[in-house]
Structure 1
Amino acid sequence: MSTPHTTATARYEGHLRTEATHTASGTIIQTDAPVDNHGRGEAFSPTDLVGTALGTCILTTMAIVAERHQVDLVGSTFTMEKIMSSDAPRRIAQLTVELHLPAALSPANRALMERTAHTCPVALSLNPEIKQEVRFVYA
């Protein structure tokens, strides 16, 4: 296990908004409650960040493996859809990540990237009750 250290700090700004600071870099992000939960929806909601973390973790993990195998993924993108539960308690029910990867990837490299996508640390850390759907588009 790695040595614990503070990764982020945050401050409640009022009006259902927080401002979080990444300790090592000083990068700041804001969160806002979504419109369907009393917020203004003017920034990522905390649950949006969970879905975004899944997508960025998948891309990052695939990039690590791609570099090891000399595969170029530069320009790859994803879209993420988050579905909240309709029953109480309010929670994420499903995250769908659609990855857009280079059409030039060989069948072997496509299989490698697809295996890698399903084993990123965020995917493995999420509650198993959250349905995770990962789609691959090669264009």
Structure 2
Amino acid sequence: MPTVQTVYLGDLRTQATHLQSGTTIITDAPTDNNGKGEAFSPTDLVAGALGSCMMTIMGIVARRDEIDLTGSQMEITKIMSAEPPRKIAKIEVKLSMVTATEISDTDKAKLERAAYTCPVALSLHPDIEQAVTFEWNVAVER
């Protein structure tokens, strides 16, 4: 059974529907590639998928080990290649991790390892540099 159904809406825009949930995502070509940039571009979704996957896998490990990561955040920067062919050259992921209580260096290492081995990270082409940094116990209002 298909996972996603995508329809081209014209004017460099698509609508993808997640068939199990019915949730939709609109994409637009970016302004630096003939688009309006009014929505995520397909390559933005790749970068966002990497960050979301990392946090989700960390969340699975954290829940199993009773570590609360609620309020943790990330900033993701996608960098396109300067030379043809047009492709993602680098994705920078900065994770600002918040925990309810102090956690050990062993737990931090376990969570970081989980992020690096998420399915999206392992699925991206090895030519795409994944620059990942972690900050632990950053003060973020909960």
1:1-139 to 2 correspondences below 5 Å: 5-102=1-98, 104-138=102-136, 139=138
How far did residue 135 of structure 1 move? 0.6
Runs (5+) with no aligned partner, structure 1: none
Cα distance between partner residues in 2 of 1:64 and 1:86: 37
Q: Specify the code of the residue in structure 2 equivalent to 1:33.
A: A
Q: Which runs of 4 or more aligned residues in structure 1 lie more than 3 Å from their structure 2 counterparts after TM superposition?
A: none
Q: Specify the code of the residue in structure 2 equivalent to 1:133.
A: A
How far did residue 79 of structure 1 move? 0.8
Aligned residues with identical type, % of pairs: 53
Cα distance between partner residues in 1 of 2:129 and 2:57: 20
Q: Specify the code of the residue in structure 1 equivalent to 2:84.
A: A
SS of 1:115's equivalent? helix
Cα distance between partner residues in 2 of 1:78 and 1:105: 19
Q: How many residues align?
A: 135
Cα distance between partner residues in 2 of 1:109 and 1:102: 13
Q: Specify the code of the residue in structure 1 equivalent to 2:105.
A: P
SS of 1:30's equivalent? strand
How far did residue 102 of structure 1 move? 1.4
How far did residue 105 of structure 1 move? 2.9
Q: Specify the code of the residue in structure 2 equivalent to 1:28.
A: T
Q: Specify the code of the residue in structure 2 equivalent to 1:38.
A: N
